[in-house]
Amino acid sequence: MSPTPLLPPAAEATDLFLSKVLSLAPTRLEAKVASADGMPLLCAVEAVLARRLSRATAQELVWLNGPPGEAPHVLRLQAFGADGALLAQAEHQFAGEP
């Protein structure tokens, strides 16, 4: 299975999430990927974070072991404030190759 078709949707989902949360001034952003192709997906997410986030915003990128659940590829994004409170979250599920 080639992860290439999954990279643009993962990057777009991350970019959309950031568009919604940057005005909330998150101090930490967490991205979790559950997928057999987790490393390329995390790299796509990290590229968006590097381009859009301030260096002062902490980032946590996690590749989860085990089956992701109903969809073969799952991306979970969470943004946290200075007090550790959850500001926003999103989950995106991606199908495998067509």
pTM here? 0.86
Return d(Cα 9, Cα 15) in angstroms, integer: 10
Q: Say yes or no to pLDDT of 6 above 80.
A: no
Q: Say yes or no to pLDDT of 98 above 50.
A: no
What are the tens digits of pLDDT across the range 30-74? 999 988 878 888 999 999 999 999 889 999 999 987 655 666 889
Question: What pLDDT shows up at residue 1?
Answer: 46
Question: What pLDDT shows up at residue 73?
Answer: 86
Domain 4-94: give its CATH superfamily: D-3-phosphoglycerate dehydrogenase; domain 3 (3.30.1330.90)
- 2 Cβ contact list (under 8 Å, min separation 6): 97
| Domain boundaries along the sequence of the chain | 4-94
Mean pLDDT score of the chain: 87
Tell me the three state secondary structure of residue 66. coil
